[in-house]
Chains A and B, each alone.
Chain A
Amino acid sequence: MAVMWVIGGTLVYLAISKKLEPPLLLPMGFGAILVNLPLSGALDQNLPGIGEVTGIIDWLFKVGIGASEAMPLLLFIGIGAMIDFGPLLSNPRLLLFGAAAQFGIFATVTIAVLLGFDLKDAASIGIIGAADGPTSILVSQVLKSKYIGPIAVAAYSYMALVPIIQPFAIRLCTTEKERKIRMKYNPKGVSRLTRILFPIITTVIAGLVAPASIALVGFLMFGNLIRECGVLGSLSDTAQKDLVNLITLLLGITIAASMKAELFVSLDTMKIMGLGLMAFVFDTVAGMSFAKLINLFLKEKVNPMVGAAGISAFPMSSRVIQKMGLEADPHNHLLMHAVGANVSGQIASVIAGGVIIGLMSGLM
């Protein structure tokens, strides 16, 4: 228990002092302390003479995550409403980088299996590489992994650490010359009709090809449709601000239900933290490698760093790429390309989550 207080305190410290994902890490840190106090009334208890008493954190977990994965799914409506797919639609080729940068998920699954995790837990750990907290929580919950707490902590911590992880991986795999590659930005006009049809068509395609991804993709695209339709400005604002804030507020403290000392304090948690880091590095390397591969066939070369933005951590990753592009060459503006690849990563990561759920049911 004392170890969990320290971990909880550390998360609160990182959130406040270092500003690492404060909306999630602060509630998770405080929740970790809350559920690890002796005889915590925030958890279900069996009191002598009274019987079973429901604790609020356990109740929130059962209703909000356990029963239907409602919280992470509802969060996707807000995320969808926040995303402008314009840069991606004006250069749809960037979609492919989002797909390539999901490789880290699957590489991590294999390494987790080699480290002794069973396939179900390994798949849940691998999804940290989706670089998307709600997807990680949802997949690990659907697969009934006992490591949902450490997975959520790893997913959110590493998302916050993208500005440190990605430059390291990028410098490791690219030359100065490659980082200096300039890309012209000639966006095609994107009509309102295209913006409206995109979320609908994406949902239908994902539903037909990978049905298990439909809840994730559907809610993300529903949020985006609200944004793009042009007649639901008030709902769009609510989804982007109030809904996201409300769910985020509760999601962090609810995840704490899976941060009880007996579940969290173990060598496996340390392994999961290490594997999560690997997943982010593999994603970055895979995105860049894919960019280098397609450069073999292109006249106008793609800066490999744009491939690294195919990781879903939006918008941190695109900012990192823009900064590194400018460091390599003060006139090398990669932001819009990186944003396109980055939002593509958001779509690909939710598809990856659904695909894993679908495939795992056949493999288990």
Chain B
Amino acid sequence: MNTDIINSLKLMGMGMGAIFLVITVIYLAVHLMLRLTGGKKDEPDTGRR
């Protein structure tokens, strides 16, 4: 099989793996933050900050 095709499949596997890894770690961090801050809302979102 052509080297580029093999490399494109490697890119797919490693790329999707890396994206899911980063996103999963961010998800866990957000989950932790929400727990630590007790999910309480300090102020309404006015849209302009």
Asked if B33 contacts A359 (CB within 8 A), the reply is: no
Chain A contact residues: helix, strand, loop or mixed: helix
Given contacts A122-B4, A233-B48, contact A92 B27 (CB under 8 A): yes
Give the residue name and chain of the A residue nearest to B12 (CB).
A106
Complex CA distance for A233 and B26, rounded to whole angstroms:
26
Complex CA distance for A92 and B23, rounded to whole angstroms:
10
Number of A-B contacts (CB under 8 A): 138
Asked if B26 contacts A356 (CB within 8 A), the reply is: no
Instruction: Indicate which residue in A89, A109, A123 contacts B30 across the interface (CB closer than 8 Å).
Output: A89
Given contacts A106-B16, A230-B49, A348-B19, contact A194 B8 (CB under 8 A): no
Instruction: Indicate which residue in B8, B33, B47 contacts A197 across the interface (CB closer than 8 Å).
Output: B33
B43 contact set on A, CB distance < 8 A: 192
Complex CA distance for A212 and B5, rounded to whole angstroms:
23
B39 to A: closest C-beta gap in Å: 4
B8 contact set on A, CB distance < 8 A: 106, 109-110, 112-113, 119, 122
The 28 listed contacts between A and B (C-beta, < 8 Å) are A89-B30, A93-B27, A99-B20, A102-B15, A109-B11, A110-B5, A110-B9, A112-B8, A189-B39, A189-B40, A190-B39, A191-B42, A192-B43, A193-B37, A198-B33, A209-B21, A210-B22, A213-B22, A233-B49, A236-B49, A347-B23, A347-B26, A348-B19, A351-B22, A355-B18, A355-B22, A356-B11, A356-B15
Known: A189-B40, A191-B42. 20 other contacts (CB 8 A): A86-B45, A92-B34, A95-B27, A102-B19, A106-B11, A109-B8, A109-B12, A110-B12, A112-B8, A113-B8, A119-B7, A122-B8, A188-B39, A190-B34, A209-B25, A213-B22, A232-B49, A351-B23, A352-B15, A363-B10
Q: Which residues of A contact B (CB under 8 A)?
A: 84, 86, 89, 92-93, 95-96, 98-99, 102-103, 105-107, 109-110, 112-114, 118-119, 122-123, 188-194, 197-198, 201-202, 205-206, 209-210, 213, 227-230, 232-233, 236-237, 344, 347-348, 351-352, 355-356, 358-360, 363
